[in-house]
Amino acid sequence: MKITIITGSAHKNGTSACLTEQFVKGASEAGHEIYRYDAATKQVHPCIGCDRCHAQEHPTDTVNTACVFKDDMQGLNPHLLEAEVIVLVSPIYYYGINAQLKTVIDRFYANDAALHGQKKAILMLTMADDTSESADGALASFRGMTNFLGWEMAGTVVGVNCPTLDMLKETGYPRQAYELGKNLA
Ligand SMILES: Cc1cc2nc3c(=O)[nH]c(=O)nc-3n(C[C@H](O)[C@H](O)[C@H](O)COP(=O)(O)O)c2cc1C
């Protein structure tokens, strides 16, 4: 399957990067084709809701190029459309996914007709708190967006009590991420 992974953290060797690498390892071993997009290294302007992208009819089998912002979303859009699985990975920032990832998700808007249906979605999170309360907002948002887009929720990894990579490595979350990638069908 074609998998597009979008990460939010700026930490190249952080906790969510570790989950990403483990997922990629499992999915590669299982023979899946992976495209990884690290939002924190990209220039993506927040959606301003101008609705220019929705102003005219657009075929749903090609990328909608009507967005007023010609930025690094252009590199991601074809991979969003062709992916059978979308994986979102973020550290929790103030009880939600971080701004880098959310900015990219909001820009799905230009292509939301084309993105509707026929995809699986996975969410992987890391956070410092030792309860999953910090993840409630991100999980609710993920459920809402997958429901809206008609995507099937294919799994989550919710890494609590993981403020550092060393602490994450003491847990079963990297293994969970690996298994999720490996067993994707
Ligand atoms: C701006 C900011 C806000 C944060 N907010 C939360 C939070 O609301 N709840 C929580 O449990 N951890 C919070 N954290 C901790 C991170 O989620 C945690 O350290 C995570 O492992 C970082 O992931 P990374 O290494 O992939 O960047 C916050 C960290 C930062 C920098």
Please say whether the beta carbons of 26 and 182 come within 8 A. Answer: yes
In a domain, 49, yes or no: no
On average, the pLDDT of the chain sits at 97
Return the C-alpha torsion angle 137, 143, 147, 149, nearest 10.
Answer: 80
CA 164/CA 90 separation, integer angstroms? 14
Dump pLDDT digits (tens) for 40-91: 999 999 999 999 999 988 888 899 999 999 999 999 999 999 999 999 999 9
In a domain, 164, yes or no: yes
Helix/strand/coil for 85: strand
**Ligand 1: residue whose CA is nearest its atom 26:** 16
In a domain, 119, yes or no: yes
CA 19/CA 21 separation, integer angstroms? 5
Dump pLDDT digits (tens) for 9-31: 999 999 999 999 999 999 999 99
How many A from CA of 162 to the centre of ligand 1? 9
CATH assignment at residue 143 = 3.40.50.360
Q: Which residue range forms the structural domain that includes residue 11?
A: 2-43+63-182
115 phi and psi, to 5 degrees?
Answer: -85, -10
CA 99/CA 46 separation, integer angstroms? 9
In a domain, 54, yes or no: no
Hey, how many other C-beta atoms are within 10 angstroms of the C-beta on 83? 23
The total number of structural domains that make up the chain: 1
Residue 11 near ligand 1, beta carbon < 6 Å: yes
pLDDT of residue 69: 98
Hey, how many other C-beta atoms are within 10 angstroms of the C-beta on 128? 15
In a domain, 52, yes or no: no
The burial class, CB within 10 Å (0-12 / 13-18 / 19+), for 137 is middle
pLDDT of residue 61: 86
Within 8 A by CB and 6+ apart from 170, the residues are: none
In a domain, 48, yes or no: no
CA 164/CA 77 separation, integer angstroms? 32
**Ligand 1: residue whose CA is nearest its atom 8:** 94
Residue 163 near ligand 1, beta carbon < 6 Å: yes
**Ligand 1: residue whose CA is nearest its atom 2:** 93
103 phi and psi, to 5 degrees?
Answer: -60, -45
Hey, how many other C-beta atoms are within 10 angstroms of the C-beta on 90? 28
- The structure's pTM equals 0.98
